[in-house]
Amino acid sequence: MRLSLLGVANTLAAVRSRKPAPVVRVVREDSTVLCERCTITATALRRLKGLLGRRDLAEDEGLLITRTSSVHMFFMRFGIDAVFLDRHLVVRRVVPNLRPWRIAFGRGAKSVLELRAGEAAGRGVAVGERLTLAERD
């Protein structure tokens, strides 16, 4: 399939005009905040990009990749904690300190919460724990 310059320009204009990704707060059942600024990757393009091009994640920052049961760390510059969640946001698996050039899978997972390396253990995230998404103030 051949793309014309006009087609490429229209595609780039559509990408630039998209609304910013939604940012929510990830909260535990006991109302403690697990992630203050969690960006949801609801589109295929945002899921594809993920954290590529980033130098790091802040302590209170995360990325929720929807509609996936695996993540790859190809071309990444830093490690992350990958928290695999089922359709009800129940933790299925926690992969601490997933380093660049690695792959991780979560059987039964429907989304992955990516946190700064060490955050999952530091906050005591455990398999079976249920999380919820809340609007930020």
pLDDT digits (tens, 9 = 90+) for 104-127: 999 999 999 999 999 999 999 999
5 phi/psi in degrees, rounded to 5:
-60, -35
Over residues 80-96, mean pLDDT: 97
Output 103-110 pairs: Cβ under 8 A, ≥24 positions apart: 103/70, 103/71, 103/72, 103/73, 104/70, 104/71, 105/69, 105/70, 106/69, 106/70, 106/82, 107/69, 108/69, 109/68, 109/69, 109/70, 109/84, 109/85, 110/66, 110/67, 110/68, 110/69, 110/85, 110/86
Instruction: Please provide the CATH number assigned to the domain covering 22-135.
Output: 2.60.120.1140
pLDDT value for 90: 98
Q: Where are the domains of the chain?
A: 22-135
Q: Which residue has the higher pLDDT, 27 or 59?
A: 27
